[in-house]
Chains A and B, each alone.
Chain A
């Protein structure tokens, strides 16, 4: 589907580089995206996709370049204070491959606690919002259970609700379905698709090629820490230009 996107820039990354020791995992990454856009990042394992995503909310501080995201500017040599970081992270929600729900809290507490601690909402107000969001992801009945009693797909949908509860401007998804059975992954993808249709700005690191092609507006294809191809999803996925990208897409599409 086509959206009115790109009117206002929400993310701009210039000259992004990241070292792990002597190993350079991101090298000269440049891209930008507008409010309401859905961007998929694909590529072989170890190409730096997840690291790139984790640099955006500074779970990994970058080594080179500048990141502008949701009104924050982060230069490699001028990291944000914890206070500014938390402000950025409030605006940029993240969903992880391993869900990372807090196992010692009920589902409801998982979604309400961050609202209370980060936004200063009262317990009743936070719970009301949490229940509305849990209903939205189809898990209203699970509110009083503990995460261990929920399936992987349910846990991931709860994690999405937890991130949404802070009213983020952008959602970052780090391989949200990679730890799930293909069938179970679909219920998570359905929630994400609904979010995208609702106009949420999203960056999705994924191995779900169908999702990348049909739900995202644009695709970044990465390999060896660099962006190999970038463009409208169907174009990148159907007509890759570089041999490396062709090889990757050949391998993942024809299975």
Chain B
């Protein structure tokens, strides 16, 4: 494998990161209202959230991607490949993050709500000052695990022509098919190299937060 070959595949890193980060940010944001709907007292909202989460999680990511890119994108709206990948993975992430938030919410001791209410804190403060920071701490390790999973799932964006790591590796291996093994091994190594600092960062943040509370 030539230096140019390495360089070409490495050019996929920004797109891999963009799809992963875009999908995660979208999902982390959309997961909040979805979780709120799920724990809502309204049966309609709750039912809607359950249906959405089931649909988003049971259909394979690649089917969602094709649905958005070839289905919606060809007929009704003009959807670019990167947008389609971010939205498809983002929606699935929203469903998973909603469940992660819900689990974290349930892990908060009911006494925390009692105390916030008994002190007469306004609803906004009850959530922003008391509940959300605790939910965030509980969520952090699961969210980090999920991002690393998402990083790998971003490879399916190659199927619709997003020029990320897997797409470029595939492209190169077609031209130099006798070097496919090295090319894909290199692609795999890039994923590892991105995952490692992510995991380390998550551990560091988690450790910091714990150390502060246990001071």
Q: Which residues of A contact B (CB under 8 A)?
A: 57, 59, 82, 85-90, 93-94, 96, 98-104, 113-114, 117-118, 145-146, 148-149, 159, 162-163, 166
Report chain B residues within 8 Å CB of A162: 119
B215 in the interface (beta carbon within 8 A): yes
Report chain B residues within 8 Å CB of A87: 120
B120 touches A100 (CB 8 A): no
A118 touches B118 (CB 8 A): no
Identify the interface centre among A87, A113, A159: most chain B CB within 10 Å of its CB.
Answer: A113
Report chain A residues within 8 Å CB of B215: 145-146, 149
Please tell me which one of the listed residues B114, B125, B129, B213 contacts residue A100 in the complex, with CB atoms under 8 A apart: B114
A90 touches B120 (CB 8 A): yes
Please tell me which one of the listed residues A101, A113, A149 contacts residue B214 in the complex, with CB atoms under 8 A apart: A149
Report chain A residues within 8 Å CB of B122: 86, 117-118
For chain B, the count of residues having a C-beta within 8 Å of the partner chain is 22
A59 touches B213 (CB 8 A): no
Beyond A86-B122, A163-B119, whether A146 also contacts B112 by CB under 8 A is no
A59 touches B114 (CB 8 A): yes
Q: Closest approach, in angstroms, between the C-beta of A48 and any C-beta of chain B?
A: 17
A102 touches B123 (CB 8 A): no
A98 touches B119 (CB 8 A): no
B117 in the interface (beta carbon within 8 A): yes
Report chain A residues within 8 Å CB of B78: none
- What are 26 A-B pairs at a CB distance below 8 A? A59-B118, A82-B123, A85-B120, A86-B120, A87-B120, A89-B117, A89-B120, A90-B119, A93-B119, A94-B114, A96-B111, A98-B109, A98-B111, A102-B130, A102-B134, A104-B137, A104-B213, A113-B125, A114-B119, A114-B121, A117-B125, A118-B119, A148-B213, A148-B214, A149-B214, A159-B115
Report chain A residues within 8 Å CB of B109: 98, 100
The 4 closest A-B pairs by CB, nearest first: A89-B120, A100-B115, A100-B111, A86-B120
B134 touches A104 (CB 8 A): yes
B120 touches A114 (CB 8 A): yes
B47 in the interface (beta carbon within 8 A): no
Extra pairs beyond A86-B121, A102-B112, A166-B119 (11, CB < 8 Å): A82-B123, A85-B120, A89-B117, A93-B118, A96-B111, A96-B114, A98-B109, A99-B111, A102-B129, A118-B120, A118-B122
A117 touches B121 (CB 8 A): yes
Beyond A96-B111, A100-B109, A102-B130, whether A57 also contacts B137 by CB under 8 A is no
Report chain A residues within 8 Å CB of B120: 85-90, 114, 118, 166
Report how far A98 CA is from B111 CA in the complex, Å. 7
Q: Which residues of B, 73-123, contact A by the 8 Å Cβ criterion?
A: 109, 111-112, 114-115, 117-123
Least CB separation from A54: chain B residue: B114
Q: Closest approach, in angstroms, between the C-beta of B55 and any C-beta of chain A?
A: 33
Least CB separation from B111: chain A residue: A100
Report chain B residues within 8 Å CB of A103: 134, 213
Q: Which residues of B, 43-76, contact A by the 8 Å Cβ criterion?
A: none
B212 in the interface (beta carbon within 8 A): yes
